[in-house]
Amino acid sequence: MPIYEYHCQACGKDQSLLFLSQREAAARPRCKYCAARRLTRLLSRFAYHQTEAARLNDFDTGATRGESFYRDSRNVGLWAKKRAKELGTDLGPQFEETVEKARSGKILDDL
């Protein structure tokens, strides 16, 4: 059951349409606002989720980051975990706990 997004050339409104079958999706849909058939399909945004291990594996500690990156404690924690892994250093469970507190924003609770 795909959901497609369309822009109506007649009334200028964007809309999402749910199709319950492939046959219904193949037919030319009507605008739900003005009933015109002059719809252009839009490219929709999508997202996918990575595991923590995949994020850590894909993270590049050498990449240049903007100031906003370092304002987010979750990013700093991810950088610290990856950098420690690259250096082959095991700083123990206290380090992991501190990094997780930083990433979740709970580190300020201890101050």
Which 3 state secondary structure label does DSSP give 34?
coil
Q: Which of 11, 96, 111 is nearest to 52 (CA)?
A: 96
pLDDT one-digit tens code per residue, 42-60 = 987 777 777 877 877 888 8
User: pLDDT confidence of 39, banded at 50, 70, 90?
Assistant: very high
Taking a C-beta distance cutoff of 8 angstroms, is the pair 102, 78 a contact? no
Model confidence, pTM: 0.42
